[in-house]
Structure 1
């Protein structure tokens, strides 16, 4: 079976998009997703994105499923949402495992309503009950993070120099810590004048050029701490996003996305 794909990226966070809304594909497996994501023997990407139809009773226009580089399926991906908005070409409501989000193309990228953040310990989730602001835990110089769920779980450490943190070493230790039963995305952030410099270790993907949900979670945590005001620019290695949020409201993320190329592959050659 020959299957078309679209290679896209948002600020360097790259995706293989498979559109199964009109032509159904065989069931996606973790092994298949991991094989396609492999940068040496597959197409190569941080995340595989699968678009599928929804039932007539759904409030969404279609569904987005997200598989990380390791093949694990996850709840949300902000950069992928912008890429899908650009590909779809018009406003839509998108069903994800993390909830329904609204998106629309805008200025070479997209504006995405990511929904409301959650702060309850069991919504992150954490292993046991605690306040999710300034959690009393730490890993070497990374201490007292905030925890925020924006469709997927994040911890945010505010540091003096985000670039100096050995995130490739500390990221997996924190991601896999028993405190986080569903693993966690790890953010290290430095707040500057009305902006945030951010690096992210993504659960199941490792260090990426950009993480849309990480930018959202970090902006929310910084606003809660009154370190910045909305809107705020979040600067990642791949570029910048604008995040807007007021307590009690939804998060809005605006930023670029781009199509890289299109191709096709034989389904049975992978996984």
Structure 2
């Protein structure tokens, strides 16, 4: 099985082509591929598939490093867009892809930069999903890693909780991240973002991703944090999101509108899976 290793701002991926023959990986195989000591190593595995809808160009599946499936990955989507063009699977600059919970539009901007339409954010707790709350701008839990946590929550194809902090360097990501990710209030777990507002056009962000832990970048997490700041009136409609792996741009025109994520996508190397433990 051939693969390509890619990354978007350090958020790294193993990309597999399932357009000619289906790629089936169970959780054991996915974890073996993602293992950074005994496998290739990655935050997520991206599988390119044939389109499932008449108006789509491709299908797109995402497996986390623990083998669970995700419905959204903005950094991965940019890598997906570069992959299908470089592999000669399409020559379109704009493509539509089927994802688990709908569709995404991916656009090549040139110079290895891509823009992704992530969808329309959902704020209803039932749509996130977030249990035990009515819709609010901010939620509170009193039993997260032994402390009270206030956060905003939304879904952009996957659930996000965003905490505003004074300084991401001193934020307690290591304990609050996993505690909130697996809190019973989030029945499908949650991506946890720690946001520091620098200026109305610039934020800093760390993200503890469900199924992957803290990563160098999270595209949908960048969008979620920016949206939270925009709704709170502290951020402009276009924001630079500085993550440990680099900077992405989020644009959002407001309620009921698509959110867009722009940034680079890099190919690292190509290889072949040969270990039976990794599905080869």
TM-score (norm 1): 0.94
Q: Do the aligned residues in 2 keep the contact of 1:115 with 1:251 (CA within 8 Å)?
A: yes
Q: What displacement does 1:24 show?
A: 3.1
Please name the residue that 2:106 is paired with.
103
- Structure 1 unpaired stretches of 5+: none
Q: Does 1:34 align with 2:31?
A: yes
Q: What displacement does 1:201 show?
A: 0.2
Q: Does 1:144 align with 2:146?
A: no
Q: CA RMSD in A?
A: 1.5
Please name the residue that 2:60 is paired with.
64
Measured in 1, the distance between the counterparts of 2:76 and 2:148 equals 28
Where do residues 175-214 of structure 1 align in structure 2 (5 Å cutoff)? Answer: 175-193=181-199, 194-214=201-221
Q: What displacement does 1:23 show?
A: 3.1
Name segments (4+ residues, structure 1) moved above 6 Å: none
- Structure 2 unpaired stretches of 5+: 86-92
Measured in 2, the distance between the counterparts of 1:187 and 1:75 equals 17
Range moving further from structure 2, 83-92 or 135-144: 135-144
Q: Does 1:134 align with 2:122?
A: no
Per-residue displacement from partner, 1:119-143 (whole Å, max 9, x unpaired)? 0110110122322421122546773
Q: Do the aligned residues in 1 keep the contact of 2:108 with 2:114 (CA within 8 Å)?
A: yes
Of 82, 85, 91, 2:94 maps to: 91
Change (3 A) 1:259 1:243: same
Where do residues 228-267 of structure 1 align in structure 2 (5 Å cutoff)? Answer: 228-247=235-254, 248-266=256-274
Range moving further from structure 2, 135-144 or 43-52: 135-144
Q: Do the aligned residues in 1 keep the contact of 2:140 with 2:148 (CA within 8 Å)?
A: no
Please name the residue that 1:219 is paired with.
226
Q: Does 1:113 align with 2:111?
A: no
Determine helix, strand or coil for the equivalent of 1:163: coil
Measured in 1, the distance between the counterparts of 2:84 and 2:234 equals 36
Q: What displacement does 1:60 show?
A: 1.7
Measured in 2, the distance between the counterparts of 1:212 and 1:219 equals 11
Determine helix, strand or coil for the equivalent of 2:14: strand
Q: Do the aligned residues in 2 keep the contact of 1:125 with 1:182 (CA within 8 Å)?
A: yes
Change (3 A) 1:147 1:132: farther
TM-score (norm 2): 0.91
Q: Do the aligned residues in 1 keep the contact of 2:120 with 2:156 (CA within 8 Å)?
A: yes
Of 31, 45, 53, 2:42 maps to: 45
Determine helix, strand or coil for the equivalent of 1:261: strand
